[in-house]
């Protein structure tokens, strides 16, 4: 079928055939991911979605892709905590509200797949620290060396000079600001935040999401952010939509951020407006503090309409569907 005929069919409401649809009102299948590093992640997820695969497999594949790379912020190549140890947080959720999570996981390369195993093989939702590692090893995930990546070693050494724990806005963009998607942003130094969150809607119309991160760089050992917490860093309700977050996890946890976004969508708000209302909730609690914080929410509804909103300028996200493959800048609430 050529694109013209296909569009004609879609506009006539035939999008429920097992074919990609891209009407203006929404797209299916589709995958969206936080940050411009989401482009590579989306490409991995797309291979599964385009072959009529399940959104759960797609989001896991996307997360695996970034866990494989040396990146400031995800996987074992990520920046360590203040004791020099890389600890990983991840979670995954499917269309049946099945979910699994790990937090504070050390020396395991693929926390997203451990989270999926927790979901599928245990009656629990979240495992942490040594218990999570023990479970991972028992389930065939090899324990790897705890050596920091060269980039993380350099960043940690630099951080040790002052040893200040101070979240810095939009570190992802600082790292990538020579790239093609480089928006202009805060450029004030050391590393602090990160995180890959991705959401997919498959051809069958089912939603899933995954989040993986090494969390805030130089955090207190044992600190868990929003990224492994269902309802904070990720929430999926297959009747309504799905949402994920990036930024200062404490602020997201405080308002049960992604659960809130999905509930706003349930009330009829568009994904973008739902994200905006959740951002407003954070800012309203302490407008002064919010000036130096970054949080971004990214959401998609059941029709494949997506949207995002952040506190500050600088949050970007990647979209891949049959219709588009690009990075978008999020709208934002306050100008510092
Ligand atoms: C955390 N939310 O550990 C993560 C960090 C992050 O962009 O998303 N940074 O709090």
CATH code where residue 209 lies: 3.60.20.30
* Active-site residue, selected from the candidate residues 34, 87, 195, 213: 195
Ligand 1 contact via 111 beta carbon (within 6 Å)? no
Average pLDDT of the chain, as a whole number: 86
Contact residues for 253 (Cβ-Cβ < 8 A; gap 6+): 225, 226, 229, 232
Exposure pattern of 224-255 as b/e (b: 16+ CB <10 Å)? bbbbbbbbbbbbbbbebbbbbbbbbbebbbeb
- Domain assignment of residue 12, yes or no: no
Range of 184's domain?
Answer: 23-332
* N-to-C CA span, the chain: 50
Q: Tell me the CA distances in angstroms from 140 to 92, 110, 134, 135, one per residue in order.
A: 19, 11, 10, 9
Share of the chain above pLDDT 70, in %: 83
Alpha-carbon torsion 106, 108, 113, 119, what sign?
negative
pLDDT of residue 14: 32
| Confidence band, pLDDT 50/70/90 cuts, at residue 19 | low
Section 143-169 average pLDDT: 83
pLDDT of residue 127: 98
Sole residue written with tokens 């973008």? 272
| Ligand 1 atom closest to 171 (CA) | 7
Q: Ligand 1 centre from 3 Cα, in Å? A: 40
Query: Does the pLDDT value for residue 332 go beyond 70?
Result: yes
What secondary structure letter does DSSP report for 111?
H
pLDDT of residue 167: 58
Least confident interval from 32-36, 89-93, 174-178: 174-178
The residue whose CA has the least distance to atom 8 of ligand 1 is: 246
Number of domains in the chain: 1
Q: What is the pLDDT of residues 293-325, one digit of tens each?
A: 899 999 999 999 999 999 998 899 999 999 999
195 is annotated as an active-site residue = yes
For the chain, percent helix, then strand, then coil, each to nearest 5? 30, 25, 45
Ligand 1 contact via 226 beta carbon (within 6 Å)? yes
Ligand 1 contact via 227 beta carbon (within 6 Å)? yes
Q: Ligand 1 centre from 221 Cα, in Å? A: 15
The residue whose CA has the least distance to atom 2 of ligand 1 is: 249
Q: Ligand 1 centre from 2 Cα, in Å? A: 42
pLDDT of residue 166: 66
Q: Ligand 1 centre from 22 Cα, in Å? A: 32
- Domain assignment of residue 138, yes or no: yes
- Domain assignment of residue 249, yes or no: yes
Q: Ligand 1 centre from 51 Cα, in Å? A: 32
Query: Does the pLDDT value for residue 5 go beyond 50?
Result: no
Section 254-264 average pLDDT: 98
Query: Does the pLDDT value for residue 7 go beyond 80?
Result: no
pLDDT of residue 146: 83
Sole residue written with tokens 């004609």? 8
Query: Does the pLDDT value for residue 172 go beyond 80?
Result: no
Section 175-204 average pLDDT: 56
pLDDT of residue 163: 81
| Confidence band, pLDDT 50/70/90 cuts, at residue 162 | confident
- Domain assignment of residue 97, yes or no: yes
Q: Ligand 1 centre from 246 Cα, in Å? A: 5
- Domain assignment of residue 191, yes or no: yes
267 CB neighbour count, 10 Å cutoff? 10
Ligand 1 contact via 277 beta carbon (within 6 Å)? no
Query: Does the pLDDT value for residue 170 go beyond 50?
Result: no
What secondary structure letter does DSSP report for 192?
-
Counting ligand 1 atoms within 8 A of each CB, the residue from 91, 193, 198, 222 with the most, and so the one to mutate, is 193
Ligand 1 contact via 57 beta carbon (within 6 Å)? no
- Domain assignment of residue 13, yes or no: no
Query: Does the pLDDT value for residue 150 go beyond 60?
Result: yes
Exposure pattern of 6-41 as b/e (b: 16+ CB <10 Å)? beeebeeeebeeebbbbeeebbbbbbbbbbbbbbbb
Measured CA to CA, the distance from residue 330 to residue 320 in angstroms comes to 16
Cα 27–197–333 angle (5° rounding)? 85
Ligand 1 contact via 212 beta carbon (within 6 Å)? no
36 vs 198, more confident = 198
| Confidence band, pLDDT 50/70/90 cuts, at residue 292 | confident
- Domain assignment of residue 10, yes or no: no
Ligand 1 contact via 195 beta carbon (within 6 Å)? yes
| Confidence band, pLDDT 50/70/90 cuts, at residue 21 | low
- Domain assignment of residue 320, yes or no: yes
Measured CA to CA, the distance from residue 265 to residue 43 in angstroms comes to 27
């Amino acid at each position: 079928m050529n694109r013209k005929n296909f569009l004609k069919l879609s506009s006539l409401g035939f999008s429920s055939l097992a074919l990609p649809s891209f009407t203006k009102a929404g797209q299916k299948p589709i995958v969206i991911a936080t940050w411009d590093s989401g482009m590579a992640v989306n490409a991995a997820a797309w291979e599964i979605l385009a072959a009529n695969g399940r959104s759960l497999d797609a989001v896991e594949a996307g997360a695996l892709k970034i866990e494989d790379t040396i990146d400031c912020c995800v996987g074992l190549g990520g920046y360590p905590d203040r004791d020099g140890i890389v600890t990983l947080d991840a979670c995954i959720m499917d269309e049946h509200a099945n979910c699994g999570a790990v937090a504070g996981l050390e020396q395991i390369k693929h926390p997203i797949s451990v989270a999926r195993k927790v979901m599928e093989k245990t009656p629990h939702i979240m495992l942490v620290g040594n218990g999570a590692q023990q479970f991972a090893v028992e389930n065939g995930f090899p324990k790897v060396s705890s050596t920091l990546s060269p980039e993380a070693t350099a960043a940690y050494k630099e951080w040790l000079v002052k040893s200040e724990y101070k979240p810095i806005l939009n570190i992802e963009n600082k790292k990538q600001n020579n790239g093609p998607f480089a928006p202009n942003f805060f450029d004030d130094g050391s590393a602090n935040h990160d995180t890959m969150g991705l959401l997919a809607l498959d051809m069958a119309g089912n939603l899933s999401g995954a989040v993986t991160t090494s969390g805030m760089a130089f955090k207190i050992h044992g600190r868990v952010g929003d990224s492994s917490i269902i309802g904070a860093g990720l929430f999926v309700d297959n009747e309504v939509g799905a949402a994920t977050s990036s930024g200062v996890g404490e602020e997201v946890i405080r308002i049960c951020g992604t659960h809130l976004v999905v509930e706003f969508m349930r009330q009829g708000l568009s994904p973008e407006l739902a994200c905006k209302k959740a951002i407003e909730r954070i800012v309203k609690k302490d407008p002064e503090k919010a000036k130096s914080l970054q949080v971004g929410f990214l959401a998609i509804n059941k029709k494949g309409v997506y949207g995002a909103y952040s506190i500050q300028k600088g949050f970007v996200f990647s979209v891949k569907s049959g219709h588009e493959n690009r990075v978008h800048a999020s709208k934002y609430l306050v100008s510092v």
